Amino acid sequence: MNERTALVTGANKGIGQHIARLLAAEGFRVYVGSRDARRGRRAAEEIGGAARLLVLDVTDPDSIAAAAEQVDRLDVLVNNAGISPSLAPPTETGTDDLRRTYETNVFGVVAVTNSFLPLLRRSPHPRIVNVSSGTGSLTWSTNPNPQFASGSGGAAAYRSSKAALNALTVLYAQTLAEEGFKVNALAPGLRATDLNPRAASAGGDPAEAAAGAVRLALLPDDGPTGAFFSWDGTPVPW
């Protein structure tokens, strides 16, 4: 039987590295996506086992094409790479901030997903996990940071990028349902990482969030698709 294979984008650190580590522990051959070869190789070595570097900048079409060439089949794609460069409300958000954020968090996911789709179609149980954010919900957020809290209007570029990612999750799920794909979005919860350093005091363990991603990566054939789940498996409202 073929070894199950997974790709995690932005896996050189943070939540992504934890997801890659847990998938490796589940027996997957894991591609550690990293736009920087040196840092990605170090992360893959830390994980050990069947983890290997895949140089991948999700905003660079040439990088995506070159990465896809190196993979022959994929069972799980975790679109984890993300950025949050601005905490401003929409009234103070320039279109450059929006564009930069969407390049990674939205366009990057579409470009990577579509390029790896032929490889996922070779899997008997293809799974796509989009690492979104509870702050991308239009109606729900438990984030204690004032800029991210529900009703605050802050972090407009980031939050609207995750809302767009959520919409695309549903549309991918609908488009690919008959081919057996499960496509779901994950709200990892507040985690202390470089993306969210202010979570250092309030944020939980990134490994806990990673377990939520792995649950969605291992969904059975009768499991949900086109849904939005918190790291602990509870549904999140759109």
Q: Does 35 bind ligand NDP (CB under 6 A)?
A: yes
Determine whether 38 is exposed, middle or buried from the number of CB atoms within 10 Å of its CB (0-12, 13-18, 19+).
Answer: exposed
Measure the CA–CA gap between 235 and 238, rounded to whole angstroms: 9
Strands (E), the chain: 5-8, 29-34, 51-55, 76-79, 127-131, 182-187, 228-230
Query: Using CB under 6 A, which of 9, 123, 147, 184 touches ligand NDP?
Result: 9
- Of the pair 82, 154, the CB lying nearest ligand NDP is at 82
Query: Using CB under 6 A, which of 93, 104, 141, 225 touches ligand NDP?
Result: 104
Q: Does 59 bind ligand NDP (CB under 6 A)?
A: yes
The alpha-helical segments, DSSP class H, found in 35-87 are 37-47, 61-69
Question: Minimal distance in Å, beta carbon 42 to ligand NDP?
Answer: 11
Structure tokens at 82: 């993300």
Longest dimension (CA), the chain: 55
What is the Cα 196 distance to its own chain's centre? 15
Query: Using CB under 6 A, which of 4, 6, 8, 10 touches ligand NDP?
Result: 10
* DSSP single-letter state for residue 104: I
- Of the pair 71, 195, the CB lying nearest ligand NDP is at 195
- Of the pair 123, 161, the CB lying nearest ligand NDP is at 161
Q: Does 195 bind ligand NDP (CB under 6 A)?
A: yes
- Of the pair 5, 141, the CB lying nearest ligand NDP is at 141
Question: Minimal distance in Å, beta carbon 192 to ligand NDP?
Answer: 7
Q: Does 58 bind ligand NDP (CB under 6 A)?
A: yes
Query: Using CB under 6 A, which of 190, 210, 217, 236 touches ligand NDP?
Result: 190
Which helix (H) or strand (E) is 169 found in, with range? helix 156-176
Measure the CA–CA gap between 159 and 132, rounded to whole angstroms: 9
> Is 158 noted as a catalytic residue in this protein?
yes
Q: Which residues bind ligand NDP (CB under 6 A)?
A: 9-10, 12-16, 35-36, 56-59, 80-83, 104, 108, 131, 133, 188, 190-191, 193-196, 199, 203
**Residues designated catalytic:** 158
